[in-house]
Amino acid sequence: MAETALRRVRRAYARIAETGRPEIWIDLRPQAEVEAEAAAVDARVAGGERLPLAGRLLAVKGNIDVAGLPTTAGCPSYAYRPDADAPAVAALRAAGAVVLGTTNLDQFATGLVGTRSPYGAVRAAGDPARISGGSSSGSAVAVALGLADLALGTDTAGSGRVPAAFNGIVGIKPTRGLVPADGVVPACRSLDCVSVFARTLPEAQRALALMTGPSTRPAARPARRLGPWRVAVPATAALGVLAPGWAEAFEAAAGALAAAGAEIHPIDPDPFLEAATLLYQGAFVAERYTAVGAFVEKGGPDLDPTVAAIITAARDLPAHRLFADRERLTGLRERAMSLLGDRDALLLPVTPRHPTLAQVAADPVGVNSDLGRFTNFVNLFDMCALAVPAGQVDGLPFGVMLAGRAHADDDLAAIAGLLRPAARLAVAGAHLSGQPLNHELTARGARLVATTTTAARYRLHALSTDPPKPGLVRVAEGGAPIECEVWEMPAAGLGDLLAALPRPMALGPVELSDGTNVPGFLCAPEGLAGAADITAYGGWRAYLGSAAAGR
């Protein structure tokens, strides 16, 4: 039986309390109010209504209207209360999604760091010493930590793709105009896009499809040719300085595409990178002043000083400079599209590095500018893009971006589907082959790699759960080898599985009999109260086959 929306909401609020990340949220809705909305969704489903997102939990960036909540754009004194949801929010709610609240952001969506907010700096999901990325910071981290299933952000310069990459999730920046931007506080109105975050690409695609409205732009582009995907990939030496290990990770991603059947073609990235500098260093930044400049000029104690300086400086840009930059951009775009030719996509790292909070504090403008090196050009060139996980470097997520011409959104998703970084998972109980929860692995594309045992450092306990499952715990002494299986699955699927992992289960390193360590399901100490020690049986299957299991 599918899990109810009400139960999902209750578990989400418990996780929010356990996580202790208040900086994620600007306005978290009262739990009772959200439970009532979830119960209404359950009633609709019970009545036979088909809701493709029934019970999926949604977080919404604080510059997007949610009826009943203030829209702050990260500035409390700017706040207003909308009478209706933004169309993107309304579409997801109509499909059964339940809104948890609005999330923190770089003020007025001006930044790629996630620190420019009076509500506090949002820290990366996996390393609280590092930035979350922005401007859609809270939305990305809410999804990465499993607090929400989906989240909406905006993406003008990379504000959806950068935090997606830093937090190991999927971020889609669709073709401009594909998702209505009504009900969104503008940053640069001519470039703004509503973006979507999810832990898996299919879920992000499903949400995007539901938000897509009647486009005012014709999707006039040639039908996709037959044959393998053609992906343009620049040499890492042409990308500038990258963090240690990032060049190798990028090359590995390109290699994975080639191994999956894509044709890899070299490309000169110079016109793309040169255009990226125009977004903030040229006259296009004047559009930010058009959006909120009059408000910022009034001053206020809750204005972020870096954001205010960027917006007010744009006031005095001369008109002739804008026309000159437009002409320059036209030339760069023509050159870039000529180089791209008949390639279906361009592959790039999302960012050159993942800075710490301290590094941003020491150089807020310089670090921010560097983060947009590979993302800023996309909307200026009227392209679509998405960011997907592509492994890890030194224990931190590494993400790559695929960019394509307008209306190539589905093509990019198909190409990104070839990048399925695998993760291994050790299981010793209800997720074993033939056991009642094994479908949670196979439904996420997992395959069995090995049947083995742990090192002789563990004990196994029978927990009082439904369905029955054991608790595996590591001990300092008195341990024994326990039968287990090792499964390999897409990393995104593992993230989705872990987000729904109930207490007292937890993820931790499990040492196998050959001395290697892989992530696996362990039991938190509080779950062992009253649980029988069944270590002597050597494994969960042996215990289930014994007379003791029926007592």
* Catalytic residue ranges: 61, 135, 159
- Cβ contact 511:497 at 8 Å: no
Q: What share of the chain is helix, strand, coil (3-state, %, to 5)?
A: 35, 20, 40
Q: Using CA atoms, how far apart are residues 23 and 505, in angstroms rounded to an integer?
A: 26
Q: Kindly report the three-state secondary structure assignment for every residue of 320-360.
A: HHHHHHHHHHHHHHHHHHHHHCCCCEEEEECCCCCCEHHHH
CA distances from 22 to 118, 147, 155, 238, 261 (A): 13, 12, 23, 40, 44
SS3 182: coil
Which helix or strand (DSSP H or E) is residue 411 part of?
helix 409-416
Q: What are phi and psi of 403, to 5 degrees?
A: -120, 140
- Give me the helix-helix angle, 201-211 and 87-94, nearest 10°: 110
First to last CA, the chain: 27
Residue by residue, DSSP assigns 223-261 as: PPPSSS-EEEE--GGGG----TTHHHHHHHHHHHHHHTT
Query: Whose structure tokens read 């016109």?
Result: 271
Q: Using CA atoms, how far apart are residues 83 and 89, in angstroms rounded to an integer?
A: 13
* Start-end of H helices in 47-94: 87-94
Residue by residue, DSSP assigns 294-320 as: HHHHT--TTS-HHHHHHHHHGGG--HH
- Cβ contact 108:31 at 8 Å: no
- Cβ contact 481:454 at 8 Å: yes
Q: For the sheet containing 447-453, what is the strand order?
A: 447-453, 483-490, 422-427, 517-523, 505-511
Question: Rounded to the nearest 5 degrees, what angle is found at the Cα of 287, between the Cα atoms of 285 and 291?
Answer: 125
Q: Using CA atoms, how far apart are residues 109 and 78, in angstroms rounded to an integer?
A: 13
Q: Using CA atoms, how far apart are residues 382 and 379, in angstroms rounded to an integer?
A: 5
